[in-house]
Amino acid sequence: MAYSEGVLQRARLRLAQEKAQYDSEAEARRAQIYSAYPRLREIDQALRKSMAAAVATAFRQGDDVPQAMEAIKKENLALQREREWLLEAADLDEAALEPPPFCPHCGGSGYVGAVMCECLQELCRQEQKKELSSLLSGKENFDGFRLDYYPTEPDPSLGVSPRQLMERTFRRCKRYAREFRLGAPSLLFSGGPGLGKTFLSACIARAVADSGFSVVYDTAGQLFDDFEAVKFGGDQRDLTQKYLNCDLLIVDDLGTEMTTQFTQSVLYRVINDRLLQNRPMIVSTNLSDSALRQRYSPAIASRLLGAFEICLFLGQDIRLMR
């Protein structure tokens, strides 16, 4: 999963801190045991010296090497037997002195070879959820979506009622979140203000993140601000790379920003790069198809209206009904 550099840095820091605490607690337990049973400390020190002596002897020349190795072996076995007896007499487990690695797979490094270990992935997921929680209200879940806000009278232009249409849109969003995968289709949420676009996109964000995928959720205005900060503020690439590399990018309120040549260029780059890499997006906008064509370049409008699956939102502004 392609987590942003900020999420990855925070996860790595947490992993290092948790491993340091684990090692510190293990050392404190070991010191406490050695204080209560000094002979155990002496035996462990002797065993380490014995191992070093065995290695040195193995590289020695001479006829006495086999006898020397045998003597070291006997001494080592005697020390191990005494150690086992002391541990048993003190009712101590071997793990009290030599605890297992912080992580059985990576030892606490966060990587198995070049592959990110599950322990670091889990911390990345937790940090990503914190990041999403700071942007969302915390109330967004599919169970909280209410269809009774939408009228049952058929819309003359569509031949179905807003409630029927929104029921289909709601089912599509739930299925999208449940079945999300790399290479999933991109969605365009289109409809007037206050119809649930932000709410359902946030529901998808939480559900997809809970499934272990990297999700970036932001407003169109913030996306453009971040690209502008990188353009004029030097090396802050993480501000923008997250929009290009995450598994799912959700851009809310497209069309509320001040449209300039720069924002058009950024929007085209983000949409085009993600489409080429099969990285899905969800874009929500209050603009109609014709308004999108008027506001954005033909290349942008063509991709939004042709390469995205359009989910229509219809009804009355729910915010005014509460």
Fold category of 136-320 in CATH: Rossmann fold (3.40.50)
pLDDT digits (tens, 9 = 90+) for 289-318: 999 999 999 999 999 999 999 999 999 888
pLDDT digits (tens, 9 = 90+) for 246-277: 999 999 999 999 999 999 999 999 999 999 99
Q: Residue ranges per domain, the chain? A: 5-112, 136-320
**Rounded percentage of the chain residues whose pLDDT exceeds 90:** 54
> What is the maximum span of the chain, computed from C-alpha positions, in angstroms?
103
Tally Cβ neighbours within 10 Å of residue 319. 9
Mean pLDDT of the chain: 88
9 token code pair: 């840095």
The Cβ-side half-sphere exposure at 67, using a 13 Å CA radius, reads: 3
> CA-CA distances (angstroms) from residue 91 to 33, 78, 87, 96, 204?
11, 20, 6, 10, 52
Work out the average pLDDT over 30-51: 86
Residue 70 has pLDDT above 70, yes or no: yes
Backbone Cα Rg of the chain: 30
Q: What is the pLDDT of residue 234?
A: 61
